[in-house]
Amino acid sequence: MSDTAIAVVGVGCRFPDAWTPEEFWSNIDNGVISMRPLPDDLLRASGVDEETLRGSDYVRVGTRLPGAAEFAADFFGYTPREAELIDPQHRIFLEVAWEALERAGHISSADAKTVGVFAGSGVGPYSAALFAAKARTEGVAAAVGDLDLTLGGEVDFLPSRTAYKLGLRGPALSVQTGCSSSLYALNYAALSLLAGECDIALAGGSAVQEPLLGYRHKPGRALSDDGQCRSFDHRSNGTNHGSGVGVVVLRRLADALADGDEVLAVLYGSAVGNDGPDKIGYVAPSPAGITRVVSGALNVSGISAERLRYVEAHGTATPLGDQVELAALTTALRRTSAGTGYCRLGSVMSNIGHTGPTAGIAGFIKAVHIAGTGVLPPHPAFERPREPGVLAESPFTISTELGHSTDDCYVLVNSVGMGGSNAAAVLGPPPARTRAAAPRREKVRLQLSARNRTELDALSRKLADALERSELPPADVMYTLRVGRRDFEERRVVTAEPGRLAAALRLPRPPLVKSRRSPARRAALVIGADSAIPADIRELLLAALPAGTETFTDTAAVPADRFVILVGTGPQPGEDRHVLREDAPDLRDEVEAALTEAWLQGVPVDWTPLSPDTGRRIALPSYPFTRQRYWALDRVSLAPGAGAAASAASAASAAPVADTAGDDVEAGLLAIWRDLFGVPAIGLDDHFGALGGTSLLAVQLALEIENRFGCMVNVHRAGGSKVTVRRLAELVRAQKDMSGTPNTGLGDELDRGDDEFIDADLKLPLGSVASARSRGKDFLLTGATGFLGAFLLRELLDHTTGRIYCVVRADDEAAGMDRLRAAAQKFTLPEPDAERVHVVPADLRDLAKAGEVYRDGELGRRVGHIVHCAAKVVFTEPYRTLREENVLPMADLLTWARGHGIRDFSYVSSLAAAGPAMGSANRYLETRAQSLDPQAGSYGAGKWVCERLLTRAEEDGMRVRVFRPGLIMSSSRTGAGNDKDLIYFALISGLAVGGHPQDDRVLMMSPVDLVANAIVELALSPGSIGRAYHLVAERGVSMRRLFALLGAAGLPTEPMPLADWQQRVRRLALETGNPILSAAALLELEGHDDDELAVQAAGWQPWLSRKGLDPRLTGQTLRRGIEFLARRDDLVMKLVGDLVARDEESETER
């Protein structure tokens, strides 16, 4: 085995008529030609005018790249706006690179190998069109200076973008040699591997011609007169543009064999070079230049010419190009062989056209198939050579029939770059595998994961198809899924005999299949002092579990958030624990079962210690990306001569409102928005979110407004995703006092017109109360998958004995239970008791209908008490929008309950539904009767309306309790908190910038565990009927005080004026792009200016005293909340991880 041999261990590609390598290779074997006539409407949409379309010289033939306009933006963490500004060449290359690494079995985040990216591409028509559109409307300087357009389209950033998004730390090199770019990239990828710069290398290219389709034929130029590319044929008179993206995964051959990689082919050598001046013109090919490079590749590879069975030529189908290339290839091969007709000749350009910088890798991927299988594909549309005598005397034959090599199949790939940069590579068949296959077994455990259940189900179906279509060894499938896949939170384990795996994957149901959503968590190993477990089994467990996994002798000492592997013979499995029976006949299988369960529960597992010497990676179906169309050119005119007005009109066609500014403020804001979004036509009433606005863009917008107008507008409170230029203009004018009284200022008050909806909702029909019936004993809970709801479910299980029916938005009961389990796990709560918790899979808005069909009307018979916690907690949407989520479902729920005689109703409202009582010195009284506070905002107004509906329901006998919590903070016991909590975002941001605001406005808050405990125990108390409870301390706390508490808990910060603090957070948000900082920068604290603000909270005081509880937060509670979030969220960890870790270390030292 050569020390310089390079293994091809994975392939990903997207070519015309082919989403996958298998489809591409099938098309090649079957001689499929992808150049076809294009419909007129498609050509018009790509910018072809009628005169051109009717011209006799216009060639309406081309190829289409599947999914060219689509992208899995959400998967790769891009907003819609960002996705539209990234050239499809970059986007598709990113997807294909992922697929190639997955097929190679080396996408795992646990894989410590260094991976490099070497790629070639060119200027994409998509980016060029966006640049031209901006230049037309705003000038060339604005287009040149647009960083987003530069990063999204420049060829330099394709490899580094891929490395950034895939987490690759090897070299990231952009190679630009024209048509030979991707084969040049392959050469340098191989050299980088041999130099030890990386362990794995991605090599490839990307070319996407859309939206340019069709062309005007000009005699004597490179493009053919009929759109076909007939390489080496007597009719050849040019080529056609094609699109394609291809990536191969390379490793040193010795490493690949040792790791059990599937070697598809072996790269024995490659060479590159330039023609120099020895040719008739710069763009003309040079026979001597091509000969030198091909000879160099053969010499480096150590493969003599007579061993070649196929040469994949460049094959542009221009008369001069084909003639020069054929002569150069013949000369090169003649240096080591005088034979004739022993080697087939072909070019993939005859199938898919000229893919520009991707041409070399397209030919190489075709050659991988030939070398690996021995299949000699046909050369399509070939009739006879232009010079039959030249071909007959050469080493080559050209055939339109499929053939097979009778011996080892070696292939040479040649790529010619316009301008003279040439590349060649020599491949051969894969050697026999040296690593043993995974042992056959009666039962196999397959583990799959995805971002969500829909994609997990799609991945399961793809794997089932693969198992049924080919004879994949199940044990190696299991091994590949373990060591060669990235772990996501939605997880599934299939345990079955090999013959039942496909069926179980198609219908993932217990007992063969277990699925759950599992955020990352830690494990603990419990081994009793008298355990007889062998030392090697113990070491194996610890080697597979994450470093730092603790071992205990008693489960009572294990922290509540750990998944426990309990070694013993007596204990029974339970929630959050797996029992590894030390008396089992096959202890290694017991270990595997325990680790599989740990993985299912979210624990990272290193599987290599279980299979140090056996197991082979095999190519399996890649991730089922959920793609959407992102095509900014839909809003840009591509017609020749289209000026700025035409482009603007086209771009604005989807918006009903014209973009004409009414005054200087609106004009200035429109200019800011256009620059921010890179969209030339924006209307005064276009929504910030619909244009792709993010929290980081909101910060940029606020700073731009401050720079231009000298005032600060909080985009979040002004409407958030719904804010418009018109709304911001009102706020700017108000602050500058330019147009009198504004429309209510900061945006937290009710919008104009909402009073009509509120009046109508107060009169919503509630139906009549059914006649008396035997009282149900069970509870119905809404919102159980949310933060407070998950704690309420736990309290109901602890304080009641019957069933708890949970309304969960899910496809079925099993999926709903998975969501409940995931919520419990997220907040470190015990897993819900499946015997007592019953899922009602329904949207709250459809509960009345679902309640009738659910288990033949069981809800109406068994439920006696409803705890309604579900709500959409949003402060930036108008009442007319929020009522659809919060008010109308409440009315429907009340109507359904009354219709079934269910009289007990506990409602989780909010302090936002209350207001300061007149004559009470701004005291919020704990009464059911409340006037609507005009400052309540849309969310508070919705809660207020719901309370009024409950008052009406009480008039004919319903027993109602109302609970009004304030801000709900993390658990006082575990620190479990809400990862969307803006107060914690502010605290974390303060720690990140080292300062806190001198802000004494008062906030009302309580820990979530206290609030949930109080709601359930008070709801069960007869004395609570008809009452309202304010679940807060009677005195609030300021942001200054919260930071002081943190300082006392070991996390000090420096005081600074509020405006300075906000500015510092904004600047860091822009520097880092961290969305937590962005959200905090937009946070306008909803505190009260009066530091003596008091909320009457007498109702729960007797309960607090009896329980010995205090709702006031401590520094340790706040700190535990921050540490909890940091352990579970990398974005938090990046901001405060070092600070928390340093303080923990100092505590240990003390």
Angle between helical axes of 879-886 and 888-899 (0-180°, round to 10): 30
The CB density around residue 139, as the number of other CB atoms within 10 Å, is 12
**640 vs 314, higher pLDDT:** 314
> Are 385 and 466 within one domain?
no
**What digits encode the pLDDT tens for the residues 736-785?**
654 433 333 333 445 555 677 888 889 898 888 887 566 789 999 999 99
The answer to whether residue 990 sits within a structural domain is no
Residue 753 is predicted with a pLDDT of 55
Domain boundary among 428, 458, 479: 428
- How far apart are alpha carbons 688 and 1139 in whole angstroms? 35
Please confirm, yes or no, whether 314 is among the known catalytic residues.
Answer: yes
Q: Give the domain range for residue 671.
A: 655-675+689-738
- How far apart are alpha carbons 359 and 315 in whole angstroms? 10
> Are 419 and 453 within one domain?
no
Question: DSSP per residue over 798-839, as a string?
Answer: HH--S-EEEEE-SSSHHHHHHHHHHHHHHTTPPPP-TTTEEE
Q: How far, in whole angstroms, is CA 1118 from its chain's centroid?
A: 30
Short-list 784, 818, 110, CA closest to 491: 818
**What digits encode the pLDDT tens for the residues 1123-1147?**
999 988 888 988 887 766 544 444 4
Buried-exposed string 680-690: b where 16+ CB fall within 10 A, e elsewhere: bbbbbebebbe
Our count of domains for the chain comes to: 3
**What digits encode the pLDDT tens for the residues 830-862?**
999 999 999 999 887 777 778 878 888 889 889
> Are 348 and 483 within one domain?
no
Token pair in block for residue 298 = 């053969």
Angle between helical axes of 125-138 and 644-651 (0-180°, round to 10): 110
Residue 931 is predicted with a pLDDT of 78
99: phi then psi, degrees, rounded to nearest 5: -60, -40
> Are 21 and 148 within one domain?
yes
> Are 455 and 564 within one domain?
yes
- How far apart are alpha carbons 61 and 221 in whole angstroms? 17
Give, in order, the Cα–Cα distances in Å from 1100 to each of 705, 1029, 1107.
46, 7, 11
pLDDT at 644 over 50: no
The answer to whether residue 422 sits within a structural domain is yes
In 3-state terms the chain splits into helix, strand, coil percentages (rounded to 5) of 40, 15, 40
The CB density around residue 145, as the number of other CB atoms within 10 Å, is 13
The answer to whether residue 261 sits within a structural domain is yes
The answer to whether residue 32 sits within a structural domain is yes
Residue 531 is predicted with a pLDDT of 85
Using CB atoms within 10 Å of the CB of residue 503, give its burial: 0 to 12 exposed, 13 to 18 middle, 19+ buried. Answer: middle
**71 vs 47, higher pLDDT:** 71
Radius of gyration of the chain (CA): 34
Residue 1146 is predicted with a pLDDT of 40
Rounded to two decimals, the pTM is: 0.63
Q: What is the mean pLDDT of residues 1050-1066?
A: 88
> Are 422 and 450 within one domain?
no
> Are 391 and 480 within one domain?
no
Residue the block writes with tokens 């119905």: 780
User: Which of 358-362, 364-368, 1087-1091 is least confident?
Assistant: 1087-1091
Please confirm, yes or no, whether 198 is among the known catalytic residues.
Answer: no
The answer to whether residue 744 sits within a structural domain is no
- How far apart are alpha carbons 668 and 738 in whole angstroms? 14
Residue 748 is predicted with a pLDDT of 43
pLDDT at 678 over 80: no
> Are 578 and 664 within one domain?
no
Check 13, 106, 179, 946 and give the catalytic one. 179
Residue 649 is predicted with a pLDDT of 28
**995-997 and 523-527: which strand pairing?**
unpaired
- Helix or strand (DSSP H, E) at 130: helix 125-138
CA angle 706, 709, 712 (to 5 degrees): 35
Check 314, 716, 868, 900 and give the catalytic one. 314
In this prediction, what percent of the chain has a pLDDT beyond 70? 91
**What digits encode the pLDDT tens for the residues 473-486?**
999 999 999 999 99
> Are 316 and 414 within one domain?
yes
User: Which of 64-68, 524-528, 698-702, 758-762 is least confident?
Assistant: 698-702
The answer to whether residue 941 sits within a structural domain is no
Domain boundary among 607, 637, 665: 607
Please confirm, yes or no, whether 1030 is among the known catalytic residues.
Answer: no
The answer to whether residue 627 sits within a structural domain is no
Assess contact for 1019 and 1104: CB atoms under 8 A. Answer: no
> Are 174 and 321 within one domain?
yes
Domain boundary among 428, 461, 495: 428
**What digits encode the pLDDT tens for the residues 422-472?**
999 999 999 999 999 999 999 999 999 999 988 999 999 999 999 998 889
Whether the ω angle into residue 511 lies within 30 degrees of 0, i.e. cis, is yes
Handedness of CA 125, 273, 171, 256 (dihedral sign): positive
pLDDT at 27 over 80: yes
CATH number at residue 189: 3.40.47.10
Residue 716 is predicted with a pLDDT of 61
**What digits encode the pLDDT tens for the residues 880-923?**
878 888 999 999 999 999 989 999 999 999 998 887 765 555 67
Mean pLDDT of all residues in the chain?
A: 88
The answer to whether residue 197 sits within a structural domain is yes
- How far apart are alpha carbons 637 and 651 in whole angstroms? 8
Q: How far apart are the two ends of the chain, measured CA to CA in Å? A: 59
> Are 473 and 382 within one domain?
no
CATH number at residue 452: 3.30.70
Residue 872 is predicted with a pLDDT of 86
pLDDT at 690 over 80: no
Check 106, 241, 354, 838 and give the catalytic one. 354
**What digits encode the pLDDT tens for the residues 77-136?**
998 889 999 999 999 999 999 999 999 999 876 667 999 999 999 999 999 999 998 898
Angle between helical axes of 587-600 and 535-544 (0-180°, round to 10): 20
> Are 379 and 240 within one domain?
yes
- Helix or strand (DSSP H, E) at 42: helix 40-45
**What digits encode the pLDDT tens for the residues 710-746?**
787 767 667 666 778 888 888 888 776 544 333 333 3
